[in-house]
Chains A and B, each alone.
Chain A
Amino acid sequence: MSEQPILEVQDVSKAFGGITALNRVSLHVNAGEILGVIGPNGSGKTTLINCITGFIKMSSGRVMFRGKDISWKKAHKIADMGVTRTFQIMRPYYSLPAYKNLVIPLFSPRAKRTGGWRGGGKLGDRNTVSIDILEEIGFERDSFVPYKMASTLPTGYLKRLELARCLALKPDIIMCDEVFSGLSMSEIASMVPLIERLQMDGITLIMIEHRLRELFQVANRVMVLNFGVKLVEGTAEEVMANEKVKEAYFGSQEVEEVMTYA
């Protein structure tokens, strides 16, 4: 791992009117690491991702990516630099077939630069590249699934499609906003190796999750947010042993389960 963290968030705050959604949150991620972000509902996890990726403007603070300040850049510029995200509420292009959904990121300037799109001719056009990506992410190549309209796909495939949209850009960082939520146990079980493979490919991941058990399987470090404040950061065991975290999650059955499991 390199000395300098790939992404550094310094004292980021965001206020919506009178409500402070994020209060001086700092974090850093090293290249190739998986950082889990957990916290109760409304604790500012998604706002954090929105601020980092430029989808909303932060009130104060700084985000550094590879030593460069990206705090005030526009969302598409940030994605262009390689900091991509998925959406908690999936945002596929419903009127297009699944494989055509990936033609759009493959058309982007970054994909042209990084070779996500290999350039036509014998190597295939964007359609064939997108089928390749979809196969990689778990769409069966020879089935009808990649050709189905995105509006007819089940949640599991849509979550994969969200990830595939990021992968098409050959990203450095993917911020996953609850990729496990809404999936059945078997779907989650097949998703975990996928996340591990992304890490092996050298992609840094920041994962927002409510499925703590699966998150702790893959995450190197975990950070806990509550009411927009960072409570604690550390390994899964450290975090779960922390009194403040227990308080924030008080009564949550899953935490108790996970703690006995850990």
Chain B
Amino acid sequence: MANSEQRRRERLDRGIKVRADGVYALMSWRELAYLTVPRLVLILGMLILPLVMPGMYWQRVITIVCIYALLALSFDFLAHYLGLVCLGGAFFVGVGGYIAAILNTSLGLPPVVTIPVATLIGAVICTLLLLPCLPLRGVYFAIVTLMYPLVLARIIEALDIFGGTDGVIGVDSFANRWVEQYAVIALVLLFLFGIRRLVNLDIGLVFRAVMDNDQAVRASGMNISFYKAIAVFIASALGCLGGACLVHIYMWAGISLFALDFSILPIAATVIGGAGTLVGPVLGCIILVPISELLREFGTLRIVFYSLILVGFVVFRSEGIMVYGERKYHQFQKWVKV
């Protein structure tokens, strides 16, 4: 580039935003479409996805994508709106999953009851167990939360409770596979838009303030532990919901619910999709989980290709797909002479 000194890239915001992020002045149908089309594409895309899948196998993959998407949402919310990097995805899944399985097998409750109950009870249990760790920050919180699923899995194994290593067998499945698919898809969409709304409410601003500067929040007369606990409750509810759905999909709850996949894959999805965008992690799951399935053909080399794809994303698009996409969508870009 011989003339690179004389030219620079100029980025201009499209003109329909007024003043702050998220405040728009709509003047025409075109501008209305500008705002709604991306959202509609996502919603309709998710709804159509099960219909276009070639077979039952791939439909099941979409269901698993949705479970991971719930976990990724939970991770993204905690990490980028509260500043707690939580590696306890597997912990949430395990607690929610075991509660749903036990409610279903010993009390005979149907999935319609067990899933919400397991979500709430599981979230309460997870929040209570994480309560002592809430003053921790950064890598310390990450290490402690990583420990939880490992410890619980070992306790179940050693004490031989909840079926021990065999797990809880004979859990009811959903009514049929369409109910199963659309239930999890609806849940993902509901919580995706719900959390997007939440983080822009006043209480969401408090969460973001805790991440930015917890001392200033204390100086404003607010108990940061209380707000952290609320946020952890929301995040663990998402995880427990995922776990509860998962046991009804697999019709089985076992120690593998505490597997680290549930902690790590959501993080990879968040990195690929775009940290802090909430939509990004969902997209990340839609990309990563099927890739991991496709790579099964390579046998043991699967993890190598998987890692290469991940590294590629991190090196070449470290900001994440969604951040990149939003920038391209919201801004004109042109070369101007300096």
Q: Which residues of A contact B (CB under 8 A)?
A: 53, 55, 74-77, 79-80, 84-85, 87, 91-97, 100-101, 103-111, 126, 144, 147, 165-166, 168-169
Contacts and interface: CB of A to CB of B under 8 A. Distances in A.
Contacts of A85: 219
A189 to B, nearest CB: 27
B176 interface: no
Interface string B192-220: 00000000001101101101110111111
B212 A107 contact: no
Contact of B205 (A75, A76, A107, A147): A107
Of the candidates A105, A165, A168, the one having the most CB atoms from chain B within 10 angstroms of its own CB is A105
Interface in B211-261: 211-213, 215-224
Nearest to A81: B221
B19 A96 contact: no
Contact of A107 (B20, B213, B222, B223): B222
A188 to B, nearest CB: 23
Contact of A76 (B206, B209, B211, B224): B224
Interface residues of B, number: 22
Interface string B253-284: 00000000000000000000000000000000
Contacts of B220: 76, 79, 104-105, 108, 165, 168-169
A147 B212 contact: no
Given A93-B213, A94-B212, A107 B219 contact: no
B216 A76 contact: no
Contacts of A79: 218-221
A44 to B, nearest CB: 19
A74 B222 CA distance: 10
A15 to B, nearest CB: 22
Contacts of B21: 97
Given A93-B209, A93-B216, 16 more contacts: A76-B220, A76-B221, A77-B221, A79-B221, A85-B219, A87-B215, A87-B216, A97-B20, A101-B209, A104-B205, A104-B209, A104-B220, A110-B221, A111-B221, A126-B202, A165-B219
A107 to B, nearest CB: 5
